[in-house]
Structure formats: structure tokens, C-alpha cells
Amino acid sequence: KAGVTQTPRYLIKTRGQQVTLSCSPISGHRSVSWYQQTPGQGLQFLFEYFSETQRNKGNFPGRFSGRQFSNSRSEMNVSTLELGDSALYLCASSLEDRGREKLFFGSGTQLSVL
Amino acid sequence: GNSVTQMEGPVTLSEEAFLTINCTYTATGYPSLFWYVQYPGEGLQLLLKATKADDKGSNKGFEATYRKETTSFHLEKGSVQVSDSAVYFCALSDVNTGNQFYFGTGTSLTVIP
């Protein structure tokens, strides 16, 4: 069974640009979450989608958005990039949405904003 | 609100030493507790979990007991190996907040031969 796949693996952008990251969950998983990982802050929750609906959103500005498609694949978009957006963005999928099941993480997209 | 506080690193141990990484939590409901491990260049993997008070999670020689009275979930291993070198994250989820997991800041462990 394939794991969680995130593309691209690395991205370099400049301030003001926008970026789209992609995540394909494990087959059969309908919940997809996104986290931002930075050395100082650890993992910060961005948002979670379940069956194409955003169920939870973390404390991030509106420049961060996401969506989920009918096949459960998800994308997140960051507009008007800032230097502080440089981070590892992790996607995680889960069978259900009640927090009792473990998350399966992808290897992440390393975003560098110059 | 929900939050997790874990021991700051980095931690350096000799092979076969005893490991403890402290984790305490604050939760408004009835959380499930998890330890995840991250190896260099990879995403996080579940190490163990416990879903109710007094449960003990265990895997690969690691253990952690859900202590509601002390709101703790400390990770322990009796004899660490070089291959255990990684970053360890304590996390909680609350059924009231769905799949929004709350993570500690991570503890980096290096085991030297």
C-alpha cells in the first residue's frame, strides 16, 4: 500500500510569489491534515479536510488556504509569500476524523522563501 | 485549550543507556496521547499511543503510560541503540477537535556508540 505522497519535495520561491503544494493520502483515507514544521515552533496545525470539507483550521493568516478533491487528494496554497513562510510542510492522512486513529505523514515539502 | 509541553533537547546518550523524555499536557476533554518519531529527511511515524488513562503504549522497546493525575505521558526505553537517534514528538488529539493534533516542540536524541 503506497504511503502519503507529497510533491514537490523541495521548492524555492521569492517573496511575494505564491505556491501550491500537493498531497496524495493513503488509499481509503478521507482525512487530510496539513502542518507547518519549523525548528523553533515545532509542528503547527494549518487545517484539516474530511470528505472535501474543511473541518478545522489553525491560527494562520488567510494567505494559507487549502482544498480537498473528491479522490481525497489535497492541495494547499500560500499566496504572497513571506520570508517567515520558509518551513517544512507536512501532510498527514487518517482513516477517520475523530482523532483516535494515528496520522500517517508524508516526507514533506521543504519550502524556502528568498 | 489543548497543549503539549515536552522536555527540550538535545539529548545525547551512550548506547545501552536509559532514556526518559518528559511530556506533560493540558486538555479540555479526554485526549488520546501519542509519541511520534522523525528520522532525518523523513516525515513523522507513530511510535506508540494510549487512548485512555492508565493505558500503556509500547513499541520497539519504548513505553509510555497515560497518567491523568499528573497529566503526563513520559517516553522511556531501557537500553537505547544508535538507530534510535531521531527527533521525538509528544502529541495529543481530542475527540472534540477532530483530527487537529497538538504537538510538542520535539526532542532531538543522539545515541553515541
Residue A1's SS3 state is coil
Asked if pLDDT for residue A101 goes beyond 70, the answer is yes
Find the mean pLDDT for residues B2-19. Answer: 94
d(CA B75, CA A36): 24
Kindly determine whether residue A99 and residue B94, on different chains, have CB atoms separated by under 8 Å.
Answer: yes
How many CB atoms neighbour CB A46 within 10 A?
Answer: 23
Find the mean pLDDT for residues B54-69. Answer: 96
Kindly determine whether residue B44 and residue A90, on different chains, have CB atoms separated by under 8 Å.
Answer: yes
Asked if pLDDT for residue A44 goes beyond 90, the answer is yes
Find the mean pLDDT for residues B72-90. Answer: 97
Whether A10 and chain B come into contact, CB under 8 Å, resolves to: no
Q: Residue A14: pLDDT band by 50, 70, 90 thresholds?
A: very high
Name the CA radius of gyration of chain B, rounded: 14
Find the mean pLDDT for residues A41-65. Answer: 92
Whether B105 and chain A come into contact, CB under 8 Å, resolves to: yes
How many CB atoms neighbour CB B113 within 10 A?
Answer: 7
Q: Residue B86: pLDDT band by 50, 70, 90 thresholds?
A: very high
CA distances, A51 to each of A27, A28, A67, A74, B82 (Å): 13, 11, 10, 11, 41
The whole-number pLDDT of residue B95 equals 75
The H-assigned helical ranges of chain B are: none
Whether B94 and chain A come into contact, CB under 8 Å, resolves to: yes
Taking all residues of chain A, what is their mean pLDDT, rounded to a whole number? 92
Find the mean pLDDT for residues A54-81. Answer: 95
Find the mean pLDDT for residues B4-22. Answer: 95
Peptide bond into B10 cis (omega under 30): yes
Kindly determine whether residue B98 and residue A50, on different chains, have CB atoms separated by under 8 Å.
Answer: yes
The whole-number pLDDT of residue A97 equals 61
Q: Residue A66: pLDDT band by 50, 70, 90 thresholds?
A: very high
A92-105: b or e for each residue (b if 16 or more CB lie within 10 Å)? Answer: bbbeebbbebbbbb
Kindly determine whether residue B98 and residue A98, on different chains, have CB atoms separated by under 8 Å.
Answer: yes
Cell numbers linked to A92: 498527514
Whether A25 and chain B come into contact, CB under 8 Å, resolves to: no
d(CA B93, CA B73): 13
Asked if pLDDT for residue A63 goes beyond 80, the answer is yes
How many CB atoms neighbour CB A113 within 10 A?
Answer: 19
Asked if pLDDT for residue A78 goes beyond 70, the answer is yes
Find the mean pLDDT for residues A44-66. Answer: 93
Q: Residue B17: pLDDT band by 50, 70, 90 thresholds?
A: very high
How many CB atoms neighbour CB B40 within 10 A?
Answer: 7
Residue B71's SS3 state is coil
B27-48 per-position pLDDT tens digit: 987 899 999 999 988 889 999 9
Residue in chain B closest to A100 (alpha carbons) equals B32
Whether B34 and chain A come into contact, CB under 8 Å, resolves to: yes
Kindly determine whether residue A56 and residue B98, on different chains, have CB atoms separated by under 8 Å.
Answer: yes
Q: What is the DSSP string of A6-22?
A: EE-SEEEE-TT--EEEE
Interface of B with A in 57-86 (CB under 8 A): none
